[in-house]
Structure 1
């Protein structure tokens, strides 16, 4: 259990609050509350 890597595509970043180090994302993020999330910009190859 745990330590599974899950990739979710096409989520929209709604707001970035640099003062409080927060990023608001539109959509569901898998994993537990207070878990670590990695956000990367990518282009899906055809």
Structure 2
């Protein structure tokens, strides 16, 4: 997600359904306290969870 991949591409990489990716992302957004992909990526980088 932080590299700009769509839910469909992420689903193919993980071998799961796109709906599963959507569920995962909504849970991540909730845990990070954000509402969108961009803010989640920025916050993840800031927290050291992902590398830029």
TM-score bracket for the superposition, by shorter chain length: under 0.3
Answer with 1 or 2: which has the greater Rg: 1
TM-score by length of 1: 0.24
Greater percentage in strand = 1
TM-score by length of 2: 0.23
